[in-house]
Amino acid sequence: MSSKVRVGLLGLGTVGRSVFDTLSANHELISARAGADVEVAAVAVKSLDHDWGIDRSLLTDDALGLASDPSIDVVVEVMGGENPAGDCIRASLSRGASAVSANKELIAKQIASLVSLAQENGADFRFEAAVGGGIPILQPLQHQLGSNRFIELKGILNGTTNHILTEMRTRGISFDEALDEAQDLGYAEADPTADVDGWDALYKITILSSLITGQQVSIDSASLNGIRGIALAEIEAAEAKGERLKLIASAQFGDAPEISVSVQSLPHEHPLAAISGATNALWIQADPLGEVTLSGPGAGGGPTAAAVVGDIVEAVRCRNMGTVSPPWPISS
Protein backbone atom coordinates (compact mmCIF):
# COMPACT_ATOMS: atom_id res chain seq x y z
CA MET A 1 0.00 0.00 0.00
CA SER A 2 2.04 2.91 -1.30
CA SER A 3 -0.43 5.79 -1.68
CA LYS A 4 -1.27 8.07 1.22
CA VAL A 5 -4.53 9.97 1.67
CA ARG A 6 -4.50 13.04 3.90
CA VAL A 7 -7.70 13.77 5.82
CA GLY A 8 -8.56 17.20 7.18
CA LEU A 9 -11.01 16.98 10.10
CA LEU A 10 -13.12 20.06 10.80
CA GLY A 11 -14.43 19.88 14.35
CA LEU A 12 -13.44 17.90 17.43
CA GLY A 13 -16.67 17.74 19.40
CA THR A 14 -18.47 14.51 20.28
CA VAL A 15 -18.67 13.27 16.69
CA GLY A 16 -15.33 14.70 15.59
CA ARG A 17 -13.53 13.06 18.48
CA SER A 18 -15.17 9.73 17.69
CA VAL A 19 -14.15 10.06 14.03
CA PHE A 20 -10.55 10.82 15.05
CA ASP A 21 -10.45 7.91 17.50
CA THR A 22 -11.96 5.50 14.97
CA LEU A 23 -9.47 6.48 12.28
CA SER A 24 -6.63 6.06 14.78
CA ALA A 25 -7.75 2.82 16.45
CA ASN A 26 -8.77 1.08 13.20
CA HIS A 27 -6.08 2.60 10.99
CA GLU A 28 -4.81 -0.65 9.47
CA LEU A 29 -8.29 -2.04 8.81
CA ILE A 30 -9.59 1.22 7.33
CA SER A 31 -6.50 1.67 5.15
CA ALA A 32 -6.71 -1.91 3.87
CA ARG A 33 -10.36 -1.50 2.91
CA ALA A 34 -9.79 1.93 1.39
CA GLY A 35 -6.77 0.74 -0.59
CA ALA A 36 -4.57 3.59 0.68
CA ASP A 37 -2.89 4.75 3.86
CA VAL A 38 -5.55 6.99 5.41
CA GLU A 39 -4.12 9.47 7.91
CA VAL A 40 -5.51 12.48 9.77
CA ALA A 41 -3.19 15.25 8.63
CA ALA A 42 -4.82 18.20 10.42
CA VAL A 43 -7.71 19.02 12.74
CA ALA A 44 -9.53 22.37 12.90
CA VAL A 45 -10.73 23.35 16.39
CA LYS A 46 -12.42 26.41 17.88
CA SER A 47 -9.50 27.41 20.09
CA LEU A 48 -5.85 26.43 20.30
CA ASP A 49 -5.84 27.35 23.99
CA HIS A 50 -7.88 24.27 24.94
CA ASP A 51 -6.21 20.93 25.68
CA TRP A 52 -7.83 18.69 23.04
CA GLY A 53 -5.87 15.60 24.04
CA ILE A 54 -4.23 15.04 20.66
CA ASP A 55 -0.90 15.98 19.09
CA ARG A 56 -0.86 19.80 19.02
CA SER A 57 1.05 19.79 15.74
CA LEU A 58 -2.17 18.56 14.06
CA LEU A 59 -4.28 21.46 15.32
CA THR A 60 -5.32 24.66 13.59
CA ASP A 61 -8.00 27.24 14.30
CA ASP A 62 -8.34 28.09 10.60
CA ALA A 63 -11.05 25.73 9.33
CA LEU A 64 -11.45 27.48 5.97
CA GLY A 65 -7.70 27.46 5.43
CA LEU A 66 -7.60 23.73 6.14
CA ALA A 67 -10.48 23.03 3.73
CA SER A 68 -8.69 25.07 1.05
CA ASP A 69 -5.30 23.38 1.55
CA PRO A 70 -4.38 21.58 -1.72
CA SER A 71 -2.46 18.91 0.23
CA ILE A 72 -5.68 17.72 1.92
CA ASP A 73 -7.39 14.97 -0.08
CA VAL A 74 -10.56 14.45 1.99
CA VAL A 75 -12.24 17.18 4.04
CA VAL A 76 -14.47 15.89 6.85
CA GLU A 77 -16.89 18.48 8.26
CA VAL A 78 -18.44 17.72 11.65
CA MET A 79 -18.69 21.27 13.02
CA GLY A 80 -22.43 21.74 12.54
CA GLY A 81 -24.36 24.90 11.64
CA GLU A 82 -24.54 26.61 8.26
CA ASN A 83 -21.39 28.71 8.52
CA PRO A 84 -18.45 28.51 8.48
CA ALA A 85 -19.22 24.85 7.70
CA GLY A 86 -20.84 25.71 4.36
CA ASP A 87 -17.92 27.86 3.24
CA CYS A 88 -15.51 25.07 4.15
CA ILE A 89 -17.38 22.41 2.19
CA ARG A 90 -17.66 24.72 -0.82
CA ALA A 91 -13.93 25.44 -0.64
CA SER A 92 -13.09 21.74 -0.71
CA LEU A 93 -15.56 20.87 -3.48
CA SER A 94 -14.47 23.84 -5.60
CA ARG A 95 -10.94 22.42 -5.82
CA GLY A 96 -12.18 18.90 -6.56
CA ALA A 97 -11.40 17.44 -3.15
CA SER A 98 -13.66 14.85 -1.56
CA ALA A 99 -15.94 16.16 1.16
CA VAL A 100 -17.73 14.20 3.87
CA SER A 101 -20.26 15.82 6.18
CA ALA A 102 -22.66 14.92 9.00
CA ASN A 103 -24.25 18.40 8.93
CA LYS A 104 -27.98 17.83 8.58
CA GLU A 105 -29.01 21.49 8.88
CA LEU A 106 -26.59 22.69 6.20
CA ILE A 107 -27.37 19.86 3.80
CA ALA A 108 -31.13 20.15 4.26
CA LYS A 109 -31.03 23.85 3.40
CA GLN A 110 -28.34 23.82 0.69
CA ILE A 111 -28.30 20.30 -0.76
CA ALA A 112 -29.00 21.39 -4.35
CA SER A 113 -26.18 23.93 -4.55
CA LEU A 114 -23.68 21.64 -2.80
CA VAL A 115 -24.45 18.64 -4.99
CA SER A 116 -24.28 20.84 -8.09
CA LEU A 117 -20.90 22.25 -7.02
CA ALA A 118 -19.56 18.74 -6.46
CA GLN A 119 -20.71 17.60 -9.90
CA GLU A 120 -19.29 20.69 -11.62
CA ASN A 121 -15.85 20.01 -10.14
CA GLY A 122 -15.80 16.22 -10.32
CA ALA A 123 -15.70 16.03 -6.53
CA ASP A 124 -17.03 13.29 -4.28
CA PHE A 125 -19.58 14.64 -1.77
CA ARG A 126 -20.95 12.23 0.83
CA PHE A 127 -23.27 12.76 3.81
CA GLU A 128 -24.56 9.37 4.97
CA ALA A 129 -24.14 10.39 8.62
CA ALA A 130 -26.52 13.35 8.23
CA VAL A 131 -29.57 11.05 8.31
CA GLY A 132 -29.97 8.22 10.79
CA GLY A 133 -26.48 8.23 12.30
CA GLY A 134 -25.09 4.72 11.96
CA ILE A 135 -28.01 3.33 9.94
CA PRO A 136 -27.23 2.91 6.23
CA ILE A 137 -30.05 4.92 4.63
CA LEU A 138 -28.80 7.16 1.83
CA GLN A 139 -26.68 4.57 0.02
CA PRO A 140 -29.42 1.90 -0.03
CA LEU A 141 -31.93 4.57 -1.06
CA GLN A 142 -29.85 5.60 -4.08
CA HIS A 143 -28.48 2.20 -5.07
CA GLN A 144 -30.32 -0.96 -3.99
CA LEU A 145 -33.66 0.89 -3.94
CA GLY A 146 -32.84 3.20 -6.84
CA SER A 147 -35.28 1.59 -9.29
CA ASN A 148 -38.30 2.21 -7.08
CA ARG A 149 -41.01 4.83 -7.19
CA PHE A 150 -41.22 6.06 -3.62
CA ILE A 151 -44.71 6.53 -2.22
CA GLU A 152 -44.24 7.36 1.45
CA LEU A 153 -41.60 7.56 4.18
CA LYS A 154 -42.18 7.51 7.92
CA GLY A 155 -39.24 7.80 10.25
CA ILE A 156 -38.19 7.95 13.86
CA LEU A 157 -35.22 10.11 13.02
CA ASN A 158 -34.35 11.65 16.37
CA GLY A 159 -33.00 9.40 19.11
CA THR A 160 -33.39 11.96 21.88
CA THR A 161 -37.14 12.36 21.50
CA ASN A 162 -37.69 8.64 21.06
CA HIS A 163 -35.74 8.03 24.28
CA ILE A 164 -37.88 10.60 26.12
CA LEU A 165 -41.15 9.09 24.91
CA THR A 166 -39.93 5.59 25.77
CA GLU A 167 -38.96 6.59 29.31
CA MET A 168 -42.27 8.34 29.86
CA ARG A 169 -44.22 5.30 28.68
CA THR A 170 -42.22 2.58 30.45
CA ARG A 171 -41.54 4.39 33.72
CA GLY A 172 -44.53 6.68 34.06
CA ILE A 173 -42.48 9.86 34.41
CA SER A 174 -43.24 13.37 33.13
CA PHE A 175 -41.81 15.04 30.05
CA ASP A 176 -39.66 17.38 32.17
CA GLU A 177 -38.26 14.47 34.18
CA ALA A 178 -37.47 12.47 31.06
CA LEU A 179 -35.83 15.48 29.40
CA ASP A 180 -33.67 16.18 32.46
CA GLU A 181 -32.48 12.57 32.48
CA ALA A 182 -31.80 12.66 28.73
CA GLN A 183 -29.61 15.71 29.26
CA ASP A 184 -27.77 13.98 32.13
CA LEU A 185 -27.13 10.98 29.85
CA GLY A 186 -25.81 13.20 27.06
CA TYR A 187 -28.66 12.43 24.66
CA ALA A 188 -30.03 15.98 24.81
CA GLU A 189 -28.11 19.25 24.65
CA ALA A 190 -28.38 21.97 27.29
CA ASP A 191 -30.64 23.70 24.76
CA PRO A 192 -32.85 20.83 23.52
CA THR A 193 -34.80 22.95 21.01
CA ALA A 194 -33.56 21.18 17.86
CA ASP A 195 -34.61 17.82 19.25
CA VAL A 196 -37.82 18.34 21.20
CA ASP A 197 -39.30 20.91 18.80
CA GLY A 198 -38.70 18.63 15.83
CA TRP A 199 -36.10 20.60 13.85
CA ASP A 200 -33.52 17.80 13.81
CA ALA A 201 -36.03 15.31 12.40
CA LEU A 202 -37.26 17.91 9.90
CA TYR A 203 -33.78 18.46 8.49
CA LYS A 204 -33.39 14.71 7.97
CA ILE A 205 -36.72 14.10 6.23
CA THR A 206 -36.01 17.15 4.05
CA ILE A 207 -32.71 15.64 2.91
CA LEU A 208 -34.41 12.36 2.04
CA SER A 209 -37.21 14.14 0.19
CA SER A 210 -34.80 16.30 -1.81
CA LEU A 211 -32.84 13.23 -2.90
CA ILE A 212 -35.95 11.29 -3.88
CA THR A 213 -37.63 14.09 -5.82
CA GLY A 214 -34.47 15.55 -7.35
CA GLN A 215 -35.63 18.98 -6.21
CA GLN A 216 -34.53 21.19 -3.33
CA VAL A 217 -37.38 20.73 -0.84
CA SER A 218 -37.89 23.77 1.36
CA ILE A 219 -38.27 23.27 5.09
CA ASP A 220 -40.52 26.34 5.07
CA SER A 221 -43.28 24.31 3.43
CA ALA A 222 -43.29 21.68 6.17
CA SER A 223 -45.68 21.20 9.05
CA LEU A 224 -43.68 21.06 12.28
CA ASN A 225 -44.79 20.03 15.78
CA GLY A 226 -42.46 18.48 18.33
CA ILE A 227 -42.95 16.75 21.68
CA ARG A 228 -42.32 19.70 23.99
CA GLY A 229 -44.75 19.53 26.89
CA ILE A 230 -46.40 16.27 25.88
CA ALA A 231 -48.36 14.87 28.82
CA LEU A 232 -47.99 11.41 30.29
CA ALA A 233 -51.79 11.12 30.17
CA GLU A 234 -51.68 11.37 26.35
CA ILE A 235 -49.22 8.50 26.14
CA GLU A 236 -51.26 6.36 28.53
CA ALA A 237 -54.51 7.09 26.66
CA ALA A 238 -52.94 5.97 23.37
CA GLU A 239 -51.63 2.77 24.96
CA ALA A 240 -55.09 1.98 26.31
CA LYS A 241 -56.34 2.04 22.69
CA GLY A 242 -53.54 -0.27 21.48
CA GLU A 243 -51.57 2.63 19.98
CA ARG A 244 -48.20 4.23 20.69
CA LEU A 245 -47.18 7.88 20.40
CA LYS A 246 -44.04 8.53 18.35
CA LEU A 247 -42.45 11.64 16.89
CA ILE A 248 -42.69 10.83 13.19
CA ALA A 249 -40.99 12.59 10.31
CA SER A 250 -43.03 11.78 7.22
CA ALA A 251 -42.96 12.45 3.51
CA GLN A 252 -45.61 11.66 0.93
CA PHE A 253 -44.71 11.81 -2.74
CA GLY A 254 -47.52 12.89 -5.02
CA ASP A 255 -47.48 15.78 -7.46
CA ALA A 256 -45.32 17.59 -4.88
CA PRO A 257 -43.72 16.20 -1.73
CA GLU A 258 -45.56 16.81 1.52
CA ILE A 259 -43.28 16.68 4.55
CA SER A 260 -44.11 16.99 8.21
CA VAL A 261 -42.88 16.24 11.71
CA SER A 262 -45.50 15.52 14.35
CA VAL A 263 -46.49 13.23 17.18
CA GLN A 264 -48.46 10.39 15.65
CA SER A 265 -50.43 7.58 17.25
CA LEU A 266 -49.33 4.32 15.62
CA PRO A 267 -51.02 0.94 16.08
CA HIS A 268 -48.85 -1.45 18.06
CA GLU A 269 -48.43 -3.67 15.00
CA HIS A 270 -46.78 -0.90 12.95
CA PRO A 271 -43.00 -1.56 12.58
CA LEU A 272 -42.14 1.84 14.05
CA ALA A 273 -44.23 1.32 17.20
CA ALA A 274 -41.72 -1.18 18.58
CA ILE A 275 -38.70 1.14 18.15
CA SER A 276 -37.60 2.12 21.65
CA GLY A 277 -34.89 4.15 23.33
CA ALA A 278 -32.45 6.18 21.22
CA THR A 279 -32.88 3.86 18.23
CA ASN A 280 -33.81 5.39 14.87
CA ALA A 281 -35.81 3.75 12.08
CA LEU A 282 -37.13 4.54 8.62
CA TRP A 283 -40.21 2.83 7.14
CA ILE A 284 -40.34 2.98 3.35
CA GLN A 285 -43.27 2.27 1.04
CA ALA A 286 -42.29 2.03 -2.61
CA ASP A 287 -43.19 0.37 -5.90
CA PRO A 288 -42.34 -2.38 -6.76
CA LEU A 289 -40.57 -2.97 -3.43
CA GLY A 290 -43.56 -2.81 -1.12
CA GLU A 291 -42.56 -2.01 2.46
CA VAL A 292 -39.21 -2.18 4.25
CA THR A 293 -37.93 -0.82 7.57
CA LEU A 294 -34.33 0.16 8.29
CA SER A 295 -33.38 0.57 11.94
CA GLY A 296 -30.38 0.89 14.21
CA PRO A 297 -28.41 3.26 16.43
CA GLY A 298 -29.09 6.75 15.18
CA ALA A 299 -27.50 9.00 17.77
CA GLY A 300 -24.22 9.50 19.57
CA GLY A 301 -20.60 9.82 18.60
CA GLY A 302 -19.94 6.15 17.84
CA PRO A 303 -22.78 5.43 15.38
CA THR A 304 -22.36 8.78 13.61
CA ALA A 305 -18.60 8.30 13.38
CA ALA A 306 -19.15 4.85 11.86
CA ALA A 307 -21.13 6.44 9.02
CA VAL A 308 -18.62 9.27 8.57
CA VAL A 309 -15.65 6.91 8.38
CA GLY A 310 -17.57 4.62 6.04
CA ASP A 311 -17.98 7.61 3.71
CA ILE A 312 -14.26 8.35 3.98
CA VAL A 313 -13.43 4.78 2.96
CA GLU A 314 -15.73 4.94 -0.06
CA ALA A 315 -14.43 8.37 -1.07
CA VAL A 316 -10.86 7.06 -0.99
CA ARG A 317 -11.81 3.95 -2.95
CA CYS A 318 -13.40 6.11 -5.65
CA ARG A 319 -10.37 8.41 -5.63
CA ASN A 320 -8.09 5.42 -6.22
CA MET A 321 -10.16 4.43 -9.26
CA GLY A 322 -10.33 7.97 -10.60
CA THR A 323 -14.11 8.13 -10.21
CA VAL A 324 -16.69 9.78 -7.99
CA SER A 325 -20.04 8.54 -6.70
CA PRO A 326 -22.20 11.66 -6.48
CA PRO A 327 -25.72 11.81 -5.04
CA TRP A 328 -28.64 11.88 -7.47
CA PRO A 329 -28.83 15.22 -9.30
CA ILE A 330 -30.83 17.82 -7.38
CA SER A 331 -32.05 21.07 -8.89
CA SER A 332 -32.81 24.19 -6.92
The CATH number of the domain holding residue 12 is 3.40.50.720
Residues 167 and 186 in one domain: yes
Residue 251 in domain:
yes
- Considering 104, 204, 241, 246, which one is annotated as catalytic? 204
Q: Give the pLDDT band of residue 2 (cuts 50, 70, 90).
A: low
User: Which of 331, 296, 327, 318 is CA-nearest to residue 128?
Assistant: 327
Residues 278 and 309 in one domain: no
User: Which of 127, 125, 43, 45 is CA-nearest to residue 91?
Assistant: 125
Residues 56 and 178 in one domain: no
Mean local confidence (pLDDT), 59-79: 97
Residues 104 and 91 in one domain: yes
Residues 155 and 113 in one domain: no
Residues 104 and 179 in one domain: no
Residue 330 in domain:
no
Residue 328 in domain:
no
Mean local confidence (pLDDT), 114-128: 95
Residues 120 and 75 in one domain: yes
CA 116 to chain centre: 20
Residue 327 in domain:
no
User: Which of 210, 193, 198 is CA-nearest to residue 153?
Assistant: 210
Overall number of domains in the chain: 2
Residues 126 and 158 in one domain: no
Q: Is 112:216 a contact under the CB 8 Å cutoff? A: yes
Instruction: Note the pTM of the prediction, 2 decimals.
Output: 0.95
Residues 23 and 54 in one domain: yes
Mean local confidence (pLDDT), 237-257: 95
Q: In which element (H, E) is residue 29 found?
A: helix 27-34
Q: What is the CATH number of the domain that holds 282?
A: 3.30.360.10
pLDDT > 90: percent of the chain: 86
Residue 111 in domain:
yes
| pLDDT score of 298 more than 80 | no
In tens, the pLDDT along 182-237 reads: 998 878 888 999 999 999 999 999 999 999 999 999 999 899 999 998 999 999 99
Residue 210 in domain:
yes
Asked if the peptide bond before residue 84 counts as cis, ω within 30 degrees of 0, the response is yes
Tell me, yes or no, if 104 is annotated catalytic. no
d(CA 316, CA 73): 9
Residues 292 and 306 in one domain: no
In tens, the pLDDT along 313-324 reads: 999 999 888 888
Residue 17 in domain:
yes
What integer pLDDT is reported at residue 94 of this predicted model?
97
Residue 250 in domain:
yes
Mean pLDDT of the chain: 94
Residues 33 and 156 in one domain: no
Residue 249: domain span: 138-297
Q: Is 316:97 a contact under the CB 8 Å cutoff? A: no
Residues 289 and 316 in one domain: no
d(CA 246, CA 157): 10
| pLDDT score of 25 more than 70 | yes
